Structure 1
Amino acid sequence: MYAPDDRKPLTVPALAEAKRGGHKLAMLTAYDAGFARVFDENGTELLLVGDSLGMVVQGQNSTLPVSVDDMVYHTTIVARAVKRALLIADLPFQSDATPERALEASTRLLQAGAQMVKLEGAGHKLDVIRFLTEREIPVCGHLGLTPQSVLRFGGYKVQGREDATAQRLRADAAAVAEAGATLLVLECVPSGLAQAITQAIPIPTIGIGAGPHCDGQVLVLHDFLGLHTGHRRPKFVKDFLGEGGSVAGAVKAYIAAVRDGSFPDAEHSYE
Structure 2
Amino acid sequence: MLLPLRTLISILALSCWLPSSLPAQHLLKAPNEKAEPINQRRAYGNACGPASLLNAFQYGDEKWQKAYQAVPGNNSRSRIRYVIAAWGNRPSKHIEGLKRWNVKQGINLLDLTDMANEMRSGHFLPKIKYEVLTLDKKESRRELLKRSHARMAKSLKKGLPPIISLRRYAYRYSAAIGGRSWWPIRAHFVVVTEIPSKLPPEAQSFKIRYVDPYGGYVRSGTITAATGQFTGSPFLTANLPHTSVGMSFVKAGEKSEISLSAIIGRW
TM-score w.r.t. the length of structure 2 is 0.27
Higher RCO (CA 8 Å, separation ≥ 6 residues):
2
Higher Rg: 2
Larger strand proportion of the pair: 2
Answer 1 or 2: which has greater helix percent.
1
TM-score by length of 1: 0.26
